[in-house]
Amino acid sequence: MKQLLTLLLSVGMIMMSAACGSDLSNAGETDAPEEETAVQTESDTESVSVKSNILVAYFSCTGTTAQVADWIADETDADKYEIIPETPYTEDDLDYNSSSSRANREQSDASARPAILGNVTDINQYDVIFLGYPIWHGQAPRIISTFLESYDFSDVTIIPFCTSHSSGIGTSAENLRGLCPDTVTWSEGKRFSGSESEGDVNEWIDSLDLPQGEVNTVGKFNFETKTVLLNSGYEMPIMGLGTYSLTDEECAVSIAALLEFGGRLIDTAYMYGNEAAVGQAIRGSDVPREEIFVITKLYPNQFDNAAEAIDEALEKMGLDYIDMILLHHPGDGDVEAYLALEQAVADGKVHSIGLSNWYVEELEEFLPQVNITPALVQNEIHPYYQENDVIPYIQSLGIVVQGWYPFGGRGHTTEMLGDETIAAIAENHGVSSAQVILRWNLQKGVAVIPGSSNPQHIRENLDLFGFELTDDEIAQINALDRDEKHDWY
């Protein structure tokens, strides 16, 4: 746990005399803790509900505010974020009796904004923020102003709460509200004394009309939102565009078409040689960056210098973060390279990490050596090579499966799209063979990234939700399995 500040309360107001201490606790196709915090460092491998859309952000010293924050988070299943000053308060800083102490000087200066250590990861995922703080001289500590001015809280509901022996939340909350956009829904808030119990806090929460976020399940495809919740806590589109074999210009045009037609998932790799084109297309788009999910991969020849390779990918694409990075296939140093990916997650450079071309034996050997369960495993999957033993195993670990070569890959696409069984099913639904294959994947829980430089094909490959394959049709396609792998990975 990071250290929290310490602050002693006196009768009627804050006695700032304690030092800070520990708080309570298609070539067309792609190749292949003791308490929860707002920054996830270890993946949950079970199928569980999506993380709450509620955040409890708090500044605490003696542990009083932290205790209330814990109770709120437990009752609402919320994430927590501890507001920590970049320069910790010393005992002298918190001396209430000294007018020259740092805390007193900050409270006397309306423009004071103590710097905060760290930041909230992906704050846009939260609809409700409980904001907690102790009362200092009748007001919130200035570090709370720093927090409110560090993010765009438009359309968020903020519910303040404070801790004090006697001072109410009153003007402190009113003054904080003035720092927020008019589109913020600001609740009245609540004051708690040190004698308040968990039951008192829960009773207050029960009286609130909290917005209810949509419940999702890790690994379960949501065909309404066309996304899947990863075990990393992020949502990923279940279909998109693979960029293998696309040249820079083709790549940019294809991505533009994908985004125009509503696609939001882009798969690239160092070995494709088009990461720069991918980044340029994203930056040149009118689609907000946070709506686009970018996957790239490190090749084994990068494993020895994985940290530098991650930075190189960021620089090539010109992005502040990469949604997901995979190891392209097993190789010498893959465990160490994956640990570098884990560090990139901790550093905020990468949101989710995973593997490509890992199968049961490889996973059984690899997973015990790493800390974060992969969010995704990307393998060759198509009607002639179905991996019916591998897919359920990966999914049982809480890992999403994504398929490359959905149409069979190099030299096999024409045969597969012309398969009599698939063509007959397509005719029955009034769709193309490609759409049938992609829909078959989705209904098996396999995300798809078909590649194409043809805008019409890209549009068609996204149009997968106007029909549904029957159990009999699924069985017919399952019967086509030849265990026929079309690439060496």
Tokens linked to 480:
């086509």
pLDDT at 488: 82
pLDDT at 123: 86
Report the C-alpha gap between 302 and 309 in whole angstroms: 6
Whether 170 shows a pLDDT value over 90: the answer reads no
Percent of the chain with pLDDT over 70: 88
- Alpha carbon 234 to chain centroid distance? 3
pLDDT at 210: 82
pLDDT at 214: 54
pLDDT at 196: 87
Which whole number is the average pLDDT over 325-340?
Answer: 97
Is residue 373 a contact partner of residue 396, using CB atoms and an 8 Å limit?
no
Report the C-alpha gap between 209 and 223 in whole angstroms: 29
Helix then strand then coil, in percent of the chain rounded to 5, is 35, 20, 45
Indicate the pLDDT class of residue 137, thresholds 50, 70 and 90.
confident
Which whole number is the average pLDDT over 6-13?
Answer: 29
Is residue 238 a contact partner of residue 447, using CB atoms and an 8 Å limit?
yes
Report the C-alpha gap between 125 and 247 in whole angstroms: 35
pLDDT at 46: 40
Is residue 375 a contact partner of residue 352, using CB atoms and an 8 Å limit?
yes
Nearest 10 degrees: Cα torsion 107, 112, 116, 120: 100
Percent of the chain with pLDDT over 90: 79
User: Exposed, middle or buried by CB within 10 Å (0-12, 13-18, 19+), for 124?
Assistant: middle
Sorted by sequence, the CB contacts under 8 Å of residue 479 that are 6+ apart come out as 421
Q: Which of 200-214, 396-410, 421-435 has the lowest mean pLDDT?
A: 200-214
Is residue 326 a contact partner of residue 378, using CB atoms and an 8 Å limit?
yes
pLDDT in tens, 13-69: 333 333 333 232 243 343 332 333 343 333 333 444 444 589 999 999 889 999 999
Computed over every residue of the chain, the mean pLDDT equals 88
Q: Which of 76-80, 214-218, 292-296 has the lowest mean pLDDT?
A: 214-218
H/E segment holding residue 401: strand 400-404
Greater confidence, 387 or 29? 387
pLDDT at 25: 28
Which whole number is the average pLDDT over 261-278?
Answer: 97
pLDDT at 24: 27
pLDDT at 53: 85
Is residue 32 a contact partner of residue 10, using CB atoms and an 8 Å limit?
no
Residue in the block written with tokens 């299943």: 77
pLDDT at 49: 41
Which whole number is the average pLDDT over 258-286?
Answer: 97
Whether 166 shows a pLDDT value over 70: the answer reads yes
pLDDT at 13: 31
pLDDT at 59: 97
DSSP structure string for 149-166: TTS--TT-EEEEEEE-SS
Whether 203 shows a pLDDT value over 50: the answer reads yes
Whether 218 shows a pLDDT value over 70: the answer reads yes
Whether 472 shows a pLDDT value over 60: the answer reads yes
What one-character DSSP code corresponds to residue 480? T
Which whole number is the average pLDDT over 129-152?
Answer: 95
pLDDT at 217: 83
Half-sphere exposure of 16 (CA within 13 A, CB side): 26
Indicate the pLDDT class of residue 410, thresholds 50, 70 and 90.
confident
Indicate the pLDDT class of residue 124, thresholds 50, 70 and 90.
confident
pLDDT at 128: 95
Whether 375 shows a pLDDT value over 50: the answer reads yes
Report the C-alpha gap between 32 and 295 in whole angstroms: 12
Which are the catalytic amino acids? 272
What's the angle, vertex CA 50, arms to CA 2 and CA 269, rounded to 5? 85
Report the C-alpha gap between 17 and 183 in whole angstroms: 39
- Closest to 274 (Cα-Cα) out of 330, 321, 324, 313: 313
Greater confidence, 170 or 447? 447
- Closest to 232 (Cα-Cα) out of 54, 345, 52, 352: 352
Report the C-alpha gap between 190 and 241 in whole angstroms: 49
pLDDT in tens, 236-256: 999 999 999 999 999 999 999
